[in-house]
Amino acid sequence: MDQEIMINVQNIKRTYGKGHGKTEALKNCSFSIRKGEFVAIVGKSGSGKSTLLRILGTIDRPDQVYGTGEKPVVEIEHKDVLKLGDAELSAFRRRRIGFIFQDYNLFPEFTAAENIILPLHLDKKEADKQRLKVLMESLGIYECRDKFPQEMSGGEQQRTAVARALIHEPALVLADEPTGNLDMENALEVAVLLKKAVQNYKQTIVMVTHDRQMAEYADRIISIEDGVVRI
């Protein structure tokens, strides 16, 4: 495994609301993830794991100032994403990060193949048809290429979502409860596919899950309890 650091997070805090409605979703979190590592972040509902994933995905930002004066740091591929402007951040997210969601987030009016290559179109790039075929075959969904989401099973839809996250060869893939809507058989298949993505495509994957059985497929497990990361 490559020892280069892919993610470096320091002094991360995230608070929502004010006064009596104030909620500390994350409390002074610091950790790192190596390039090519498959990491599972586990915790109960409301523990802060999804907030942490949104910050890693540059969709949300941590609080900027601590009482101790320590500044938060979120570095991905040695780039401090907290210092990027909106346009630069959007381009970085689009090109370097892939997302997999619990509810698939497929566009119902697009076929499986069209859903998969959408990130390339958004970046004004042409799809490599051979790469698309190889990727879909490796995920067992090539026969679904012309099907619309409503014509596919839950497992096929999630594998399509996995392919969409991998098609533009991002350095980092973030999966938010990717097996939450699947039965056990399909959930295990998706967990295996994510592990293979690390091995075959050399990507770094961070998966949020409340399911310890799914987490066991990862190289390393990070627990989060009441907003506190425990390595």
E strand segments, 17-112: 23-34, 38-42, 73-76, 79-80, 97-101
**Number of separate domains in the chain:** 1
What residue numbers bound the domain in which 35 lies?
A: 5-230
Across 67-71, 143-147, 165-169, least confident range: 67-71
- Give the residue from 195, 176, 194, 217 showing the smallest Cα distance to 49: 176
Predicted pLDDT at 14: 94
- Across the range 129-148, mean pLDDT stands at 94
Averaged over 153-171, what is the pLDDT? 93
Average pLDDT of the residues in 17-41: 92
Report yes or no: 5 and 35 within 8 Å, Cβ to Cβ: yes
Query: What is residue 72's DSSP assignment?
Result: P
The CATH number of the domain holding residue 26 is 3.40.50.300
Give the C-alpha separation, 20 to 24, whole Å. Answer: 12
Say which residues have a Cβ less than 8 Å from residue 228's Cβ, sequence separation at least 6: 27, 28, 29
Among 13-22, 96-105, 144-153, name the one with the lowest average pLDDT.
Answer: 13-22
Q: Give yes or no for residue 71 having a pLDDT over 90.
A: no
Which of 104, 96, 108, 203 lies closest to 160 in space, CA to CA?
Answer: 104
